[in-house]
Amino acid sequence: MRSIQSFDSKYDVGRVSAPNDNAAFANFSVLENQGKNLFLGAPQFNASGERTGGGAGCQGCHRAPEFDIDPNSRNNGVVGIVGSTTVDLTNTRSPSLRDLLNANGTLNSQAMHDGSLATLEAVINHYNAIPSTPGNTNLDPKLRPQGQFQKLLLAQNEKDALVAFLKTLTGTNIYTDEKWSDPFTP
């Protein structure tokens, strides 16, 4: 199942014709290229954990071109348990960020292990201000710059750009080619 992911996304088309991930992709809009730069770039922080420059740091854990998860990642501050008020600190893995949306542009599911984030905007807002959940001893240090809970201070335009970039990771073929259909349906 993990081998079934998009390979004909707008990102893939752009990547083939660019010298590297950091170069502007000719098939991307200005907003999508801005989002790509924010996704790939490491942020700089001040002593209060507030971003003063650089990107949003997503690449530090969700690595291009597969957008799979860094095997050493700890949790990302989403520590809820469905139907419970206690916390679960052990969710340190993420599926690939490819195909968050289907070919029609609708989210395939709510995000995170507990489905607690219903939109991509909610995901960006989560990373924009990592919640200071008491007792979260397994929060990844990358989200705790200078020992503070990360504040990216993203402008609305930067949030829009990150969402626009995530949408370029959805392909078409896996939703339309019969060879990817349910093998158990006679």
Note the residues at the interface with ligand HEC (CB under 6 A): 56-58, 60-62, 69, 73, 75-76, 78, 91-92, 94-95, 97, 100, 111-113, 123, 127, 140, 142-143, 162
Shortest gap between Cβ of 126 and ligand HEC (angstroms)?
A: 8
| Residue showing tokens 């893995």 | 93
61 and 92 in contact (C-beta within 8 Å)?
Answer: no
CB closer to ligand HEC out of 49 and 57: 57
CB closer to ligand HEC out of 155 and 184: 155
145 preceded by a cis bond (ω within 30 of 0): no
Shortest gap between Cβ of 79 and ligand HEC (angstroms)?
A: 8
CB closer to ligand HEC out of 19 and 71: 71
Q: Whole-angstrom distance between the N-terminal and C-terminal Cα of the chain?
A: 19
CB closer to ligand HEC out of 123 and 164: 123
Please enumerate, as own/partner, the contacts of 153-158 that have beta carbons within 8 Å and a separation of 24 or more.
Answer: 153/50, 153/51, 153/128, 154/38, 154/51, 154/56, 154/124, 154/128, 157/34, 158/34, 158/38, 158/56
Shortest gap between Cβ of 178 and ligand HEC (angstroms)?
A: 25
Shortest gap between Cβ of 86 and ligand HEC (angstroms)?
A: 15
